[in-house]
Amino acid sequence: MIIGIGSDLANIERIEKTLERFGDRFRNRVFTEVEQAKAERRADVAGTYAKRWAAKEACSKALGTGLRMGIAWKDMAVTNLNTGQPEMAVTGWAAERLAQMTPQGHSAKIHVTLTDDHPWAQAFVVIEAVPQP
């Protein structure tokens, strides 16, 4: 059963300008160390950050809160499996909200997909409640 859906579109050029203007202050406020390390290793640094920005926005929407209701940027983190598939991990208030919205007898699974076509980066997040055996 689906318990949350969110999507977001980010402008890669806007993220690039934000990185130029605010540098580490922006990176450290929004992205985890793992996310930063991944982005800084990529040829398209701004595009990588933009996709993760969009994923965090989409996740906050799927949680039904947006970013104005207490979720911190770093409470949502995008990592990648060895196959390259992105996955979303939540901590802090985002994890608390996820637990609140997950029906009893179920566990939550967050699905995330990322794409970009310059100048746009896009993310979709679907939260699924999976019955526990």
pLDDT at position 26 over 80: yes
CA distances for 107 relative to 12, 64, 65, 113, 127, angstroms: 34, 17, 20, 20, 10
Owner of token pair 């300008």 = 17
Pick the more confident residue, 92 or 65. 92
**What's the rounded mean pLDDT across residues 63-71?**
77
pLDDT grade for 65, boundaries at 50, 70 and 90: confident
- CA distances 49 to 6, 35, 99, 129, 130, Å, are 18, 8, 27, 28, 30
How much is the average pLDDT of 20-26? 97
What is the arithmetic mean of pLDDT over 95-99?
96
Mean pLDDT of 70-89: 93
pLDDT higher than threshold 90 for residue 71: no
Q: What is the per-residue pLDDT for 82?
A: 94
The percent of residues in the chain predicted with pLDDT above 70, rounded, is: 98
State residue 7's pLDDT score: 96
The class of domain 2-131 in CATH terms is alpha beta
The verdict on pTM exceeding 0.75 is yes
Residue 84: left if φ>0, alpha if ψ -120 to 50, beta else—which one? left
User: Has residue 66 got a pLDDT over 80?
Assistant: no
